A and B are shown apart, each in its own frame.
Chain A
Amino acid sequence: MATESDLSCSGLVRRFGNNAAVDHVSLDVPAGTFFSILGPSGCGKTTLLRLLAGFDKPDEGDIFIRGHRMNEVPPNKRPVNMVFQHLALFPTMSVGDNIGYGLKRKKVPAAERRKRIARVLEQVGLPELENRDPQELSGGQRQRVALARCLVLEPTLLLLDEPLGALDLKLREQMKIELKHLQKQFGTTFVYITHDQSEAMVMSDQVAVMKNGRFEQVAPPEELYRQPATPFVAGFVGDNNRLAGTVVSVADDVAAVRLSDGAVVRGRVASAGLAPGAQAELYIRPESLSFSQTAAGGGSSSLQTRVRTTLFDGANSRVEAESNGQALFARLPQDGTAPALTPDGHLELSWDPDLARVFGASPQ
């Protein structure tokens, strides 16, 4: 990448006892990007963030911010600020004093401080709220105060620890978009951790999927979605259907997999060393499945299923079908092209093998 990295880590390790919460993680975040670390709870993402903020020290590896090694630098001396999961606004201070806290530590004169507080409040859409108590504000407003408190210091790097977790669904959707806009507006590099794949997908330029202390894949959201590198990523990012079986043949990067009931399905090979006879898993997205009446025919792969039920959810409506005891979800288009489905009725689902991905079976 041409631009200089704002954050660069190599071989970071943090152990607690025998367990490595962060296990040889390397990452590189170019200036001005929105970088998310996505993983289930307990995957080590919070530990990683605390290493970056300086609240914890790595056992191995180095942290560089704009080329300066940060390992020994205490948190109050790092050009890094953090938005905490529960925001951690100071309850004994007004909104203005909260935002001015960092400026005061930097010995910015009072007049200049007031000006910058007013400006940043304007920028986050909360003008004239300096004198209010944080407790009097709504969840979304407090969120913005926590952001403003960091952004006013113009940090090189802003760390965000699942800050949207405490908000209700509607507000969260709104804040996702707003955060993305704010990041573009300020041009600050964001490192955002979350367990919510939709947050990561919507906001990020790059997403790292983390599992058991390691990065499984680092890629832009769309690549993560369309070309997951591992079965874990395929299952964790977005909805996916998983079919397990045995590889019968591999030709032109397309593998044919025989399921336990004898049906053969096909998909693009996604992991190396997939030979006939190997255990494999095929992943196919609900929206890639089409109903046979509308299928494109040709080289498509298909599966006979039985309808269990339909789940209406607006644009996200799905049908739940089963094949040999395995549940499969397919998106039901809401433009009138969906066939009439009756429970227990027969349904043939088909797909373009290029859209399905076949991995060697994961060890568990």
Chain B
Amino acid sequence: MNRWLPRTYLTLVYLLLYVPIVVLVVFSFNDSRTGYEWGGLSLRWYEALLNNRAMVQAMWNSLWLALSAATVSTLIGALTALALHRYRFRGKKVLNGMLFVVMMSPEIVLAISLLALFLLVGLQLGYVSLLLAHVTFCLPFVVITVMARLSGFDERLPEAARDLGANDFTMTRTVLIPVIMPALLAGWLLGFTLSLDDVVVSTFVSGPSYEILPLRIYSMVRVGLKPEVNALGTLLLVFSLVMLILSQWILLRSKR
């Protein structure tokens, strides 16, 4: 009895987590037109999806946005983390705290304030406004990830590198970046996923010129669940899994 209780509990938790995903994947191969009846195996929804030009365009848009937002926020975030870690300056505590404010404040607040700002400066809503918004909410996550890695960084390593003849640039390239690489990758991935599935902020700051996937899906399911969405969900799932495995593989390799 005592042995079975934890196992049952764990099984329930995992069922709760994975059953919806399994259902989505199974029904993406469903031949039936309605989402709740099994009508045999088929790839028709994948076909429909790929023939849906607006959908494919939204997918590319989303990917490109997530890639660029993750990259830009990793660059800015890593430099911010280094500055916060290495230097002592006035207002450092305030800056540090402000990162958490962005992270903790409700997304809707961030969305409204970004929209107000963009309208105020007269920025056309589209890719640029989306990128700026996504970089804003990804940044704190990158900074915190990199700072956590830097807190365990031996301050003598840069000195040892310089002592052995490296200039600052070489030291950064050969010692600092390899050490914080796992954090850079983790931060980038975090940013990428946050950006890829963001709805709230994107709803406010996107324009008709640049449609992205989450918003497209959202507008599709508003008029009823289409099986195409299952197929799309499955593709995204596979994509995320590949990314996850890839990142783990890179991390493992960099450790050796």
Contacts and interface: CB of A to CB of B under 8 A. Distances in A.
A90 B156 contact: no
A89 B159 CA distance: 11
Contacts of B178: 92-93
Nearest to A146: B160
Interface stretch (A74-82, A248-256, A292-300, A324-332): A74-82
B154 interface: yes
A203 B156 CA distance: 25
User: Main secondary structure on chain B at its contact with chain A?
Assistant: helix
Interface in B139-186: 154, 156-157, 159-167, 170, 174-175, 178-179, 181
A286 to B, nearest CB: 39
B52 interface: no
Nearest to A89: B160
Given A76-B167, A101-B174, A105-B170, A88 B154 contact: yes
A95 B175 CA distance: 14
A105 B165 CA distance: 6
Most buried by A among B156, B160, B175, B179: B160
A63 to B, nearest CB: 15
B254 interface: yes
Interface residues of A, number: 26
B154 to A, nearest CB: 6
A88 B160 contact: yes
Nearest to B182: A92
Given A88-B157, A92-B254, A76 B163 contact: yes
B175 A90 contact: yes
Nearest to A81: B163
A145 B244 CA distance: 36
Contacts of B165: 76-77, 102, 105-106, 153
A232 interface: no
A155 to B, nearest CB: 10
Contacts, number: 61
Nearest to B165: A105
Contacts of B179: 91-92
Contact of A88 (B156, B174, B254): B156
Contact of B166 (A80, A93, A105): A105
A182 B157 CA distance: 24
B164 to A, nearest CB: 4
B160 A76 contact: no
Contacts of A92: 175, 178-179, 181, 254
A91 B174 CA distance: 11
A55 B159 contact: yes
Interface in A117-169: 133, 149-150, 153
A192 to B, nearest CB: 16
Contact of B160 (A74, A80, A90): A90
A86 interface: yes
A282 B246 CA distance: 73
A53 B170 contact: no
Interface in B209-249: none
Interface in A31-87: 53, 55, 74-77, 80-82, 84-86
Contacts of B162: 55, 74-76
10 contacts: A76-B167, A86-B154, A88-B159, A92-B175, A92-B178, A92-B181, A106-B165, A149-B164, A153-B164, A153-B165
